[in-house]
Chain A
Amino acid sequence: MNKILFFAHLRDEAGHESVEIEAVGKTVAQLKEMVAEKYGVQKLDTSMTAINEEFSSNDEVIKEGDTIAFIPPVSGG
């Protein structure tokens, strides 16, 4: 199983801070499609993704126990 984290407007859209889903073996791009469909989240294509707190590319493959966070464009500072 995998933990998926949503932040900022993505969390508002998903209606969840985090969800547990089975994403092992999928690429980040495939997971984005799945999550967009299941949770009605737009704009995932302009979000960055972090696996286990490190930025990852869209073609990275998700492993058992990975935590995946969708990172909308940041606005700190």
Chain B
Amino acid sequence: MMNYEIAKDPINVQSVIDKVVQREAGAITTFIGTVRELTKGKKTLYLIYEAYEPMAVKKLEQIGTEIQERWNGAEVAITHRVGKLDITDIAVVIAVSTPHRNDAYEANRYAIERIKEIVPIWKKEHWEDGQEWIGNQLETVPYPTGKPEEKDLNE
């Protein structure tokens, strides 16, 4: 069973949840990231997601390992979709199970924030009047050394 996947087809949410079911768990949290129509008033028609797939899977695994080091007894599964996604489609599903609910919420939040930092996946926005690859939009996080700083990787 692969807990970390890049998927070309629609994600079955229940199948991601099923991967983290464990007898020790008292909670499972599920995050479902969906394609939003309006960003700062601008209407998105659809998105294209692209991944550097082998590295993206490795980085998702790394996030899972980080979570297990921080939250005892956590089980993690993440699937991220690539390809063309329409408004309301599911782009990412993160499931985390832990013995107690607070950890499940915190660890799940951690996972999505880390995805936005270190997993090589990009989205291209298509609008009525054009298209653009979205980076860290305002380039507020350039990496002058060429890679995320240790604090970015280990915080």
Contacts and interface: CB of A to CB of B under 8 A. Distances in A.
B40 interface: no
A71 B115 CA distance: 14
Given A7-B52, A8-B135, A45-B142, A74 B119 contact: yes
A50 B51 contact: no
Interface residues of B, number: 39
Contacts of B55: 50, 53-54, 69
B52 A75 contact: no
Does more than half of chain A's interface fall in helix, strand or loop, or is it mixed? mixed
A54 B153 CA distance: 12
B135 A48 contact: no
A74 B122 contact: yes
B133 to A, nearest CB: 4
Given A8-B135, A46-B139, A53-B58, A76 B121 contact: yes
Interface string A36-55: 00000000011111100111
Interface in A24-68: 28-29, 45-50, 53-58
Contact of B92 (A7, A53, A57, A77): A77
Contacts of B124: 8
Contacts of A56: 146-147
B147 A75 contact: no
B145 to A, nearest CB: 5
